[in-house]
Chains A and B, each alone.
Chain A
Amino acid sequence: MNEFIAPTVEYAELSPLLIVLGAAVVGVTLEAFLPRRGRHRIQVVFTLVALVAALLATGWVAAGLDEVEGASGRGLIAAEGAIAVDGPSVFMWGVLLVFSIISVMLFAERRIEGGVSAFAGQAAALPGTEAEREASRQGIEHTEVFPLVLFAIGGMLLFPASNDLLTMFIALEVLSLPLYLLCGLARRRRLISQEAAMKYFLLGAFSSAFFVYGIALVYGYAGSFTLADIHAAVDNNTGSTNLLLAGMGLIAVGLLFKVSAAPFHAWTPDVYQGAPTPVTGFMAACTKLAAFGALLRVFYVAFGGAQWDWRPMIWVVAALTMAIGAVVALTQSDIKRMLAYSSIAHAGFLLVGFAGAYGGDGITSLQSVLFYLAAYGFSTIGAFAVVMLVRDPGGEATHLSRWAGLGKTSPLVAGVFAFFMLAFAGIPLTSGFTSKWTVFSAAWAGGAWPLVLLAVGMSAVAAYFYVRVIVLMFFSDPVVDGPTVSVPSLFTSSALVVAVVATVVLGILPGPVLDLAQQAGAFVR
């Protein structure tokens, strides 16, 4: 009989992941045993401490990464080939954890709703029933959101770092399942929130199925799940090209769904609109980052040798995504839906960087996309945080017409929002400009100049609807009985300050973060 050999696991290098997932399990236990009073405070503190600890651990791992012999990257393949702890992974871990900390601060906000969080008091109670009213009378809250978000973050850390397709699939599920739940937990407008969760769940299940089918076909082609083995199979051109092409296409569908690229974007506006706003901000920044990381890793590492087969496909998807995102956003009358289409347009700009696939001197496509994701995430969390503040008696005032004249009644909040809009539009001196510049120049160097020209045109179209919001806020008369701007607690205000400062700093002094992205180097296989 064969002897079993115990696997070696590099616990130290995987510590950020282990801290976050371990904290999620401890969070569930806390949920079980803590009394209802005080649970919220303890969960918030515990979650934030765990995330900061994971961030520190990430810094420590990043400092200790070794050069790989015979390759350009730094890092190692951990856990028997399942996880790649390399420069890009560690960079994404760091950025993801920073975004997560800001998002959790938004999750913890209680002052805006008058002492309770933005999440449903009792999700099991039917909307509009006596049970629901009873739950809100008692001030019941779902503090489960904190362990849930920790699980989602754990999956997001694993997703772009996974070095084989099966691990990647597990990570996809670990990050998706808590998100489906979180989407359905809004305190206000619960039906639309539950509808969002349902749609996201069903479409997400479909896209997972596509992804797994793609994995199966690629396994049939390469005889392995490991990205390095698939790379070798592509280089040696073993097996049937049809299997490879079909597998690649299906895997792309699964991943492009998660980054909300057209034509797989249909879920985005509904889910972004229905989900509780802190969750929307979290998804827009973190899910996008994790999914782009995974997309880049799979296509650059495993399918890098077949790039002439997939690049045309990505070109078409990028062009479609930019066009649909920018043009359809023009017609939106709901601020959250508009931001959703804006996030689709930004996915398109990111895909331009991805399609360039430039790996030469200077900033590579990978590094430029990492930088863009870092810059975009701060602005998008900030923008959604502002949406949380502008309120009617029935909840957030998301209809665009309600925002008219906000600049006259609340100049500070409107100014901050206008600043984020300018950053999205890519105006110089904001992070939007520097990040677009790096992505487009890397794509140009990679020979994708027609796509870059289109992207610049689409940026102009997108700028129109961003500026339209600014004009609406500052140059039209305030509405009668206009929305009130709530004064948030320290959590939301500090999250907003961080987002604004990051957007300014990355616009004026992008050097340090660009250097970090450049030091991330290349994927290790």
Chain B
Amino acid sequence: MDLDLYVPILAIGVLGAAFAFFSLAASWLSGPRRYNRARLDSYECGIEPTPQPIGGGRFQVKYFITAMLFIVFDIEIIFLYPFAVAFDSLGWFGLIEMGLFILTLVAAFAYVWRRGGLEWD
């Protein structure tokens, strides 16, 4: 049995762990600790997280819905693309199956729309 093949994988794992420890330790030891408002923001990139969370600390649940919707459409496109490439050879079977697939997504979308998931306020 040949376990030598796995040595590089192990080495990568060790390297990765070492790098993580090194970076954390280095920034902890060498970095200045000057906390200000920007440092303590949810996203340390200068952009205000909008809308302002009420009372601070809590994320608006709206972000979650937006992210979920994004993923739904994202995945729809991922599946549509290979279907478009193989459209010729799949014929009617492919068309009907993809129609059903899109219909399924539309059902979820209609639910979100009717329940007001698309309204920001």
Q: A: which residues have CB within 8 A of B?
A: 3-6, 25-26, 28-29, 31-33, 124, 240-242
A6 touches B90 (CB 8 A): yes
Instruction: Find B89's partner among A4, A26, A241, A242 (CB 8 Å cutoff).
Output: A4
B66 within 8 A of A: no
B-side contacts of A33, CB under 8 Å: 110, 114
Q: Which residues of B contact A124 (CB under 8 A)?
A: 61
Name the residue of chain B whose CB is nearest to the CB of A242. B1
CA distance A29 to B107 in the complex (A): 5
Complex partner residue of A32 from B3, B61, B90, B110, CB under 8 angstroms: B110
Per-residue CB contact flags for chain B residues 61-99 toward chain A (1 = under 8 Å, else 0) read 100000000000000000000000010011101100000
Report B78 CB to chain A, min CB distance, Å.
Answer: 16
- CA of A124 to CA of B60 in the docked complex: distance in angstroms? 12
Q: B90 → chain A, closest Cβ, in Å?
A: 5
Q: Is B89 in contact with A28, judged by CB distance below 8 angstroms? A: no
CB contacts under 8 Å to A, within B95-112, are 103-104, 107-108, 110-111
Q: Mind listing 22 A-B residue pairs with CB under 8 Å?
A: A4-B89, A4-B90, A5-B89, A6-B89, A6-B90, A6-B93, A6-B94, A25-B103, A25-B104, A25-B107, A28-B107, A28-B108, A29-B107, A32-B107, A32-B110, A32-B114, A32-B115, A33-B114, A240-B2, A240-B3, A241-B1, A242-B3
Residues of B within 8 A of A3 (CB): 89
Q: Which of B86, B107, B108 contacts A4 (CB 8 A)?
A: B86
B1 touches A240 (CB 8 A): yes
Question: Are the C-beta atoms of A29 and B110 separated by less than 8 Å?
Answer: yes
Chain A residues lying within 8 Å of B94, measured Cβ to Cβ, are 6
Please, which residues of chain B bring their CB within 8 A of the CB of A29?
Answer: 107, 110-111
Q: How far is the CA of A151 from the CA of B110 in the complex (A)?
A: 18
Per CB-CB distance, the 4 closest pairs between chain A and chain B, nearest first, are: A32-B114, A4-B89, A4-B86, A6-B93
Distance in angstroms from A369 CB to nearest chain B CB is 34
Chain B, interface size category, equals: 10 to 19
Q: How far is the CB of A177 from chain B (nearest CB, A)?
A: 12
- SS class, residues of chain B in contact with chain A: helix
Query: With the chains together, A242 CA to B93 CA distance in Å?
Result: 43
Residues of A within 8 A of B3 (CB): 240, 242
A5 vs B94: C-alpha distance when bound (angstroms): 10
Q: Is B59 interfacial (CB-CB < 8 Å)?
A: no
* CB proximity of A121 to chain B, nearest CB, Å: 15
Distance, CA A332 to CA B89, complexed state (A) = 62
CB distance from A321 to the nearest CB of B (A): 33
CA distance A4 to B84 in the complex (A): 12
**A28 near B111 (CB under 8 angstroms)?**
yes
A219 to chain B, nearest CB (A): 15
B22: which A residues are within 8 A, CB to CB?
Answer: none
- Kindly report which residue of chain A lies nearest to residue B83, judged by CB atoms: A4
CB contacts (< 8 Å) of B61 on chain A: these are: 124
- Identify the closest chain B residue to A3 (Cβ): B89
Distance in Å: Cβ of A120 to nearest Cβ of chain B: 15
A31 partner residues in chain B, CB cutoff 8 A: 111
* Contact flags B1-27 to A (C-beta < 8 A → 1, else 0): 111000000000000000000000000
B48 CB, min distance to chain A CBs, angstroms: 25
Point out the residues of chain A lying under 8 angstroms from B115, CB to CB: 32
Among A5, A25, A26: residue with most chain B CB under 10 A: A25
Q: How far is the CA of A242 from the CA of B110 in the complex (A)?
A: 49
A31 to B108, CA, bound (A): 10
Known: A28-B107, A29-B107, A32-B115. 15 other contacts (CB 8 A): A4-B86, A6-B89, A6-B90, A6-B93, A25-B107, A28-B111, A29-B111, A31-B111, A32-B110, A32-B114, A124-B61, A240-B3, A241-B1, A242-B1, A242-B3
Q: Are B91 and A6 in contact (CB under 8 A)?
A: yes
A8's nearest neighbour on chain B, judged by CB, is B93
Instruction: Determine the distance from Cα of A26 to Cα of B107 in the docked complex, in whole angstroms.
Output: 8
In the bound complex, CA of A240 to CA of B5 (Å): 12
A479 to B93, CA, bound (A): 66
A4 → chain B closest CB, angstroms: 4
Q: Once bound together, how far apart are the Cα atoms of A33 and B104, in whole Å?
A: 15
Instruction: Determine how close the nearest CB of chain B comes to the CB of A21; give it in whole angstroms.
Output: 9
